[in-house]
Amino acid sequence: MLLHFTKMHGLGNDFMVVDLITQRARLLDEQVRELADRHFGIGFDQLLIVEPPLDPDMDFRYRIFNADGSEVENCGNGARCFARFVRDQRLTHKHEIHVETRGGPLTLKVENDGRVSVDMGVPRFAPQSLPFEADEDRLRHRLEVDGETHEIGVASMGNPHAVLRVEDIDTAPVARLGPAIEAHPRFPRRVNVGFMQVVSPHEIRLRVFERGSGETMACGTGACAAVACGIRQGLLESPVTVHLRGGDLTIAWPDQDAPLVMTGPVVRVFDGRVALS
């Protein structure tokens, strides 16, 4: 069968987006991995699926699959692409869109300038929310990795994140520590790993090693988790500009009991059809 799709990206974090409301398909893990291959497939960091909601109060169900075929709870850059996609496809005419994810409900708002704001909910720091094996909730946790001790903040944005503060992200050992922390036994469901350089109270630079995908050009939930940890630790103040390798996001979290809001751009790259075996 031929599957219609759209290729999109948010700050270089790229996606294959599929409407499974007007067409029907069932993608197996192996098919997702084949489609994600940048030499033999479409090539993407994540596959985004649009489905009818299970909750009648929601507009859509939003599902996310990593390049390795694993389904995950949330993706912030993907959520912005999702909002633009459902409007471009005329699946909705709303500017404020409510979607359900494995990590909980999200509210997406398409701004007049074309950017998309996402109500990401209230960050959670309790270790069991990731999950992360720790006796208590702390601002920083010590983690033994390859004979070294690192201090990390942990946060759930519907998906799990570990955040390390570094002096310079250009020289940070992302390729070495990223996969080691991602698969650390204290994170039984693995974890996304952010390397954060604080430039000022309102500005950071960030690289993210994503669970199941490796380092990406940008990570929306990673940006949110880094800012949330930074504000909680007294390093940052809302709003914060996050400089990622693919571009900039704005993260606002003026009240730690309020939802965190992420705003950034979206690009539609091309539409296509692919034959599924």
- Residues belonging to the active site: 75, 219
Asked if residue 211 belongs to a known ligand binding site, the reply is yes
- Which tokens hold the place of 68? 């390795």
Q: Residue 164 in 3-state DSSP?
A: strand
Asked if residue 220 belongs to a known ligand binding site, the reply is yes
Q: How would you class 34 by CB atoms within 10 Å of its CB: exposed for 0-12, middle for 13-18, buried for 19 or more?
A: middle
Compute the distance between CA of residue 246 and CA of residue 88 in angstroms, rounded to an integer. 23
Asked if residue 76 belongs to a known ligand binding site, the reply is yes
Amino acid identity of 260? L
Asked if residue 233 belongs to a known ligand binding site, the reply is no
103-to-78, 150, 153, 182 alpha-carbon distances in Å:
14, 27, 20, 19
Q: Which residues pair with 99 in a beta bridge?
A: 60, 106
Asked if residue 101 belongs to a known ligand binding site, the reply is no
Asked if residue 192 belongs to a known ligand binding site, the reply is yes
CA 211 to chain centre: 10
Asked if residue 13 belongs to a known ligand binding site, the reply is yes
Asked if residue 159 belongs to a known ligand binding site, the reply is yes
Non-local (6+) Cβ contacts of 160 within 8 A are 130, 131, 132, 154, 187, 189, 190, 191, 192, 211
Non-local (6+) Cβ contacts of 178 within 8 A are 193, 195, 209, 214, 215
Compute the distance between CA of residue 82 and CA of residue 50 in angstroms, rounded to an integer. 8
Amino acid identity of 274? V
Asked if residue 112 belongs to a known ligand binding site, the reply is no
Compute the distance between CA of residue 63 and CA of residue 24 in angstroms, rounded to an integer. 15
Other CB atoms within 10 A of residue 176 CB:
11
Where is the binding site, in residues? 13, 46, 66, 76-77, 159, 192, 210-211, 220-221
Where is the binding site for substrate, in residues? 13, 46, 66, 76-77, 159, 192, 210-211, 220-221
